[in-house]
Amino acid sequence: VQSAWTAFLDACDKQESAGEAIYSALFDAAPSIQSLFKRTPRAVMAMKILQGLNNLIQACHDPPILKVVVEALGFRHLDLDVTIPRVIVIRDALVELLSVELGKAIPPSSLVGLRVLLNYVGGAFIYIRVQFAERLKIIQSSWATATRKGMEDWRDPMTSMELMTVAASHADLHPKEEPPEGAIAINIAPEEKENPKRSRFAWWKGSSSSKKSSNNESGSGESPSSKVAAITNAVVPKTYQDMFLFNSAVMGFGSKVWMHDILLAFESIVTNISNPQRLQEECDILALTMGKHQGPVVLSEYKAVMLASLRSLVRNWDSQHELAWSWLWENVEHMLKAVMHKPATQFRNLKLFYERLDETAMQFMRREVYLRFFSMAPKGQDYFKQSMTRLHFIVDRMTAMTMEMYQSPKTMVNDLSAMGLRHVGYGIPVEMFSPFVSAAVQTIRELAQNDEEAEAFSWSLHLISRILCRVINEGSTIVMKAINLNSFHKLNQAAAAAPRGQRESWMLRVQVGTQAISPLIWSIQAGNLEASRAIIIDLLTIRADRDHYYFGADSLFERHPDIIKRLTVDAPALLPVFLDGMLWRSRHTENGMRRVNYWVKHLLQDADGNFAKNIEWLVNFNDPKLICHPVLVVLVDMVWKNVAFRTFLHGKLWFLFTTCLFICSQSILANATAHGDGQLSLSGRITMLVFRTFIYVFSMGEMIVKQSRLCMKDIREKNLVRIGRVPIIPEYLCKWHHACSFALMWCLILMLCVEPIVHCFFQGPAENFTKAWCRDEPWKFIYAMLSTVAILLYFVLMSDFSVLSTRISAFTLVCSRLVKELFLFLFVTGVCTIAFACSISALRQDSEYFDTSYDAFLHLWKMLLGMMPPAVFHDLEDEVPALFIMLAIFVVVASIFLTSIFIAQLSSAYQATFNDMVGFARLNRGHIVVATMPKVPEQRWKDYLESLHLDRRIEFGEGDIGLAGAIQILEPASLNQEPQVCPVCHGERVHRYAGTTSREAPWPIVEIESAEMDLETKLARMEKLIQASMKKIVKLTKSQASSSSKGLGNSQRFESSNGSSESSS
């Protein structure tokens, strides 16, 4: 049977094809069972059926394992009406499918074995339904009542401390019982315990303390009846957990911590009671957890508290409830007792084994595990593509995990769930785990000194393997499988099977236990960008029926608030696709105008209503083309005009004011109030003193404080620019704006040090105060140069005002980018001039203009700039010819050749910059918006958000109220004349569907014939058509053969009857 099944899977090439073939065979076998297949999407049901059959056939060689698998499947099918005729129909359909697909390649014994297996499975389903269906229904309904699921009329449950305080008040009414005989005592050495400092046990400590205080109070004369009255008047617990805590304290079991471990795992136990494999896994983990506590464990005590709690919570409790819950606990108790004594002993054995292993044994184990595994499962080599060092690391991590499973079982379960979800993304089949575990166990048996050590390793590793296989099976959705194929159309087909109300969650969350993985983020991190593009397009496609609009932007940002950051870092090519989905442009025009909806709510604000970081991430991406996307243009402009502009202008007006004062004090007043003898008027001098004092105190003081703060921040965070290992400057000075402010600050400091007004005031008589300068000429030159540089720096820093106009900002940015070419030209020309100056000064010539290297350099620059007087050239006619030749070469090289190259380079750079200059201007505005928004008052931001009415639904057309979270702008119809189309169907962006409006129904599948359809999809369609045709031909051939055989048999009987009649006559 297993060989025939393997041949069938190989013939189908892919598991999806095999699942689809099985589904079609079962669906077409009998109309009576078609109603069983309508609740789950076709693709999902096909993979479930395939997986179930695969598990059955893989376990058919081991009867105990087969029994567990069949029981698990039987419990899952309790809600279906499994009958003998239906079992026969399904059995015959599967047998016929394998015989048709494999033909003569399948032996008759395989078909007989498959029939026997399916008969056993069908009989087991019927038996389980008859025996346990009613019990499971009682357990499920009463558990829902006890946990108050779906009920809203109950008050909030009390906290654990409140419950224990109330219950402990009469704990003396029930004296503490001694553990009966047969109680299981679990003791682990202190160094092997988990850290007991866990907050979830705090209430147990509170219970003990409360109980002690209660006992002390009872000694003071308080009667038990008064305590009972106090409890009666207290708030009664309304949930199972609260009621259990209450009853455990009342019954004297409040100090037993192992009960709390069972309580935490009890919901998983009840939920998975119909799944024996999962129930055994939960019991194994629970045994490991309970093994961390010293003292006896009497499981019957938990049963007593459990039944008492359920009786109090379930109103219609009767004998059937008692029987069902007793049956549940008997199964759990049986599983726990079977493994409860193992963890402590196995932990010690495994610890001793690992302590004895040396590096030689570890190297042997690392090699031998993979040799044995590859011999058992040759296909496993296709999944291990890493280097041997990585494979050795996997073995080391495996051995460490077997030890950690004993030490920290709950932490390991969470880690294994996360690891299993990662393996879902890797596409690792669960069939590979069993041979890998077998290879590891066989290798350990060779290294272990006794069977106990090998058994300890085997038990832990098998538990790890079961958890990983379960997580992979639960997380292997059809969406994750389509992501592994990295096919746009495969993922669309997988998503089409989802109910319309759950389609977004299929794309964004795969939940297994406490761990979850996002298919979208996984596809981005794995580099499957085609699948990522399909997910983003599907989420941001607007779908509508008569009752609802469906749009995944809210779910996307709720699941991944940093989706923009992830795309800028890992998948920049998907950013335009994402932004296209945030825009809708109507095809219809009204009076020459067109409706355009921009979904900017989540781009503009975060979940708390604050300014989102999406603009910051997009601006820091520094893509001039992306920033010109219509959505970002509208987003940045609306924030700039309505919020950031006022704050930016308020901040820059102060700088503009100080710049005007500095210019007046240095340039205007110094010349306007000066007399011919260099003296200044007293009023002008006083005015200049006031202006300069204001500059030194406020402007320079503000710069010192700001620069010191930024410098200390970078030093504290170690953000330093280094050359090798030597720190040079803080990182913030790499930005030109901060560098210019830093230079301006030092210019003002140095100007203060040589300020003439100060020196003239303190030197000599009072009339020196009105002198323009009262110090030596070198200091005058230094002050003048510092003043000149400071004025230039002030004007450079005023370039931020260019952001007020996009055209001016674009021109400014173009000029700043072309300055690099200018400096490059000046550098090359300077080097060339130095070379010719040195060579000319070495000639034997008597020209006074080129006598020294300095004179030659100076006059060559004058020649280059056209500043040389014409008389000089006449004087050079009588010089040596060599000088004339050198000058001619210099003019050709520097003035003609280098200048021509500079012009060409400048034109080319300008052309490249011109194409993106608007984008660079918008990037500049975006940077200023990001820097300004933290300074915006909170109230102004809230008022602006309220004015946008982002919670109001926006129209798609007249009377067609659509989705919220957008702003609507009317644009001229002449803009964007190309209609916006859906990337999938190339039609209207809003997909509208007729028919049912149920959220449980998937969207109707629309077949799309597109030239962009990949070759794989076309071949798959052809393959399906060929397979369907072959099945029809085979069925027709069989029917013709059977009819001909019947006709032949009738003719033979007719001839024989004629012969007998003739003989008798």
| Binned average pLDDT, 10 residues per bin, the chain of 1065 residues | 83 76 75 61 73 84 82 72 81 83 80 86 82 83 80 41 43 40 35 38 37 39 42 64 88 85 89 82 89 83 91 89 89 85 88 90 91 89 86 91 90 86 78 88 89 90 90 84 84 86 89 81 88 92 90 92 92 92 86 88 90 92 90 92 88 86 76 52 74 87 90 87 81 85 91 77 52 58 86 86 78 79 88 88 75 83 79 65 81 87 85 79 88 90 91 86 90 72 64 86 66 56 73 68 51 43 40
Distance separating alpha carbons of residues 594 and 463, to the nearest angstrom:
63
Q: How many residues does the chain have?
A: 1065
* pLDDT value, residue 1051: 45
SS3 330: helix
Q: Do β-strands 184-185 and 296-297 pair in parallel, antiparallel, or remain unpaired?
A: antiparallel
Strand order in the sheet with 593-598: 583-590, 593-598, 967-972
Distance separating alpha carbons of residues 607 and 253, to the nearest angstrom:
45
Farthest CA pair distance, the chain: 170
Kindly write down the DSSP assignment for every residue of 762-821, as one continuous string.
HSSSGGGGGBS--S-HHHHHHHHHHHHHHHHHHHHHGGGGGGGSHHHHHHHHHHHHHHHH
Distance separating alpha carbons of residues 605 and 613, to the nearest angstrom:
8
* pLDDT value, residue 679: 57
Distance separating alpha carbons of residues 967 and 959, to the nearest angstrom:
17
pTM over 0.95: no
Query: Cα–Cα distances in Å, from 401 out to 353, 404, 440, 463, 1018?
Result: 14, 5, 13, 11, 46
> Could you give the dihedral angle defined by the CA atoms of residues 483, 485, 488 and 492, in that order, rounded to the nearest 10 degrees?
-60
Closest by alpha carbon to 1005, among 302, 353, 307, 497?
497
Backbone angles phi, psi at 1011, to 5 degrees: -70, -20
Residue type for position 731: E
Kindly write down the DSSP assignment for every residue of 341-367, as one continuous string.
THHHHHHHHHHHHHHH--HHHHHHHHH
Q: Are 545 and 593 in contact (CB under 8 A)?
A: no
Distance separating alpha carbons of residues 321 and 144, to the nearest angstrom:
13
Kind and range of the H or E run holding 614:
helix 614-620
Other CB atoms within a 10 A radius of the CB of residue 684 amount to 16
* pLDDT value, residue 56: 86
Q: Are 134 and 179 in contact (CB under 8 A)?
A: no
Distance separating alpha carbons of residues 573 and 529, to the nearest angstrom:
9
* pLDDT value, residue 618: 93
Residue type for position 773: W
> Could you give the dihedral angle defined by the CA atoms of residues 356, 358, 361 and 363, in that order, rounded to the nearest 10 degrees?
150
Distance separating alpha carbons of residues 585 and 972, to the nearest angstrom:
11
Q: What is the pLDDT of residues 504-560, one digit of tens each?
A: 999 998 887 767 888 999 889 888 889 999 999 999 999 999 888 999 999 999 999
Distance separating alpha carbons of residues 61 and 496, to the nearest angstrom:
38
Residue type for position 953: R
Distance separating alpha carbons of residues 376 and 373, to the nearest angstrom:
5
